[in-house]
């Protein structure tokens, strides 16, 4: 485990305290891939809160504070309306809740595309105000100059190619990418451009498997698949998707638990006990000292 816990007597909640463990670094992640091979695949999940980070930290190499929090946390129709303030608030919470995994924070739409200088201003604020290890941005060849600008100024960058959700209005939906030869070649070119610009890893999302495999074989930095291929150098999923919090999930998600059913069942039992006046019981109430009530 990467943490121990102290009981806060004022709130009766357990808070994590650092255990003697060094947090994973961006160079350590980059060095997982040697001569085109990653012997130990990279594990990444999304996290948006301190408690979620505590629960996931021991099992993950990377925690991604994804702009998917727009839909997952705020009920927005897409990630496009997500703001830098949202990302910073959640990013800082995840950093506070973790001690082992390297934390990556998504750059939201509109905060980095205008110019490398604008991207640096936004990314520097994210790094300073959250304490994260790196930022992630979407886009391939068009963003290569920006990636190079950031990396040269001390900001590690994770790239993202294929299905890029922030560009959903241009793409026309969330369908798989790379089905045509032209599109497949473009995605491969995007990945190569990001690698050459200095990205330490690249997320490949929602592409046909042969394209994901070709990219993984073509670039020297690790690839992180989501709806791509098991042959990528690592994998990422939205945690709430893989835990079955939502009724519908993308085709590429494997649901490992059904928390929606668990939560609904617990809430129903609670409601029944409240209405029957059987909760709270004596174990959940405070009695006068020495009282023989009950």
Helix (H, G, I), strand (E, B) or coil at 136: strand
Checking if the pLDDT of 1 tops 50, the result is no
Confidence of residue 164 (pLDDT cuts 50, 70, 90): confident
Per the prediction, the chain carries an average pLDDT of: 92
Contacts 24+ apart (CB under 8 A), 282-289: none
174 lies in the same domain as 258: no
Of 165, 93, 160, nearest to 130 by C-alpha is 93
The set of catalytic residues is 205
pLDDT digits (tens, 9 = 90+) for 90-122: 999 999 999 999 999 999 999 999 999 999 999
Residue numbers belonging to the annotated binding site for Mg(2+): 67, 106, 138
Helix, strand and coil percent figures for the chain, each rounded to 5: 40, 20, 40
44 lies in the same domain as 127: yes
Residue numbers belonging to the annotated binding site: 67-68, 106, 136, 138
Token pair for 104: 């990556």
Distances (CA, A) of 144 to 26, 77, 148, 217, 219: 19, 28, 6, 20, 14
Domain of residue 250 covers 244-282
Indicate the DSSP class of residue 111: S
The reported pLDDT for the residue numbered 2 is: 44
As separate numbers, helices (DSSP H) first and strands (DSSP E) second, the chain gives 11, 12
pLDDT digits (tens, 9 = 90+) for 2-52: 455 555 666 656 666 655 568 999 999 999 999 999 999 999 999 999 999
Please report, for the domain that includes residue 76, its CATH number: 3.20.20.60
Between 166 and 152, name the one with better pLDDT.
Answer: 152
Total of domains in the chain: 2
Of the chain, the percentage scoring pLDDT greater than 90 comes to: 83
9 lies in the same domain as 125: yes
Residue numbers belonging to the annotated binding site for 3-methyl-2-oxobutanoate: 67-68, 106, 136
pLDDT digits (tens, 9 = 90+) for 51-84: 999 999 999 999 999 999 999 999 999 999 999 9
């Amino acid at each position: 485990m990467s943490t121990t816990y102290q009981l806060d007597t004022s709130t009766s909640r357990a808070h994590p305290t650092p255990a003697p463990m060094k947090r994973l670094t961006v160079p350590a992640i980059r060095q997982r891939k040697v001569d085109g091979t990653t012997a130990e695949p990279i594990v990444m999940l999304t996290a948006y809160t301190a408690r979620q980070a505590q629960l996931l930290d021991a099992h993950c190499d990377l925690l991604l504070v994804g702009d998917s929090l727009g839909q997952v946390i705020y009920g927005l129709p897409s990630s496009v309306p997500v703001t830098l303030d949202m990302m910073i608030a959640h990013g800082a919470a995840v950093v506070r809740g973790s001690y082992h995994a390297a934390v990556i924070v998504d750059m939201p739409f509109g905060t980095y595309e205008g110019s490398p200088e604008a991207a640096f201003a936004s990314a520097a604020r994210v790094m300073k105000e959250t304490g994260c290890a790196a930022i992630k941005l979407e886009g391939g060849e068009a963003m290569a100059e920006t990636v190079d600008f950031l990396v040269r100024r001390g900001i590690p960058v994770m790239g993202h190619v294929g299905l890029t959700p922030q560009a959903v209005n241009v793409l026309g939906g969330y369908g798989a990418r790379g089905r045509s030869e032209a599109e497949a070649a473009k995605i491969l070119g995007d990945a190569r451009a990001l690698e050459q610009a200095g990205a330490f890893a690249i997320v490949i999302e929602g592409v046909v498997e042969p394209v994901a495999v070709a990219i993984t074989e073509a670039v020297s930095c690790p690839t992180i698949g989501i709806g791509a291929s098991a042959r990528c150098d690592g994998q990422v999923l939205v945690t709430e998707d893989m835990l079955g919090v939502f009724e519908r999930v993308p085709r590429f998600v494997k649901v490992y638990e059904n928390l929606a059913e668990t939560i609904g069942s617990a809430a129903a039992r609670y409601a029944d006990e409240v209405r029957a006046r059987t909760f709270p019981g004596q174990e959940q109430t405070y009695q006068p000292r020495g009282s023989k009530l009950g």
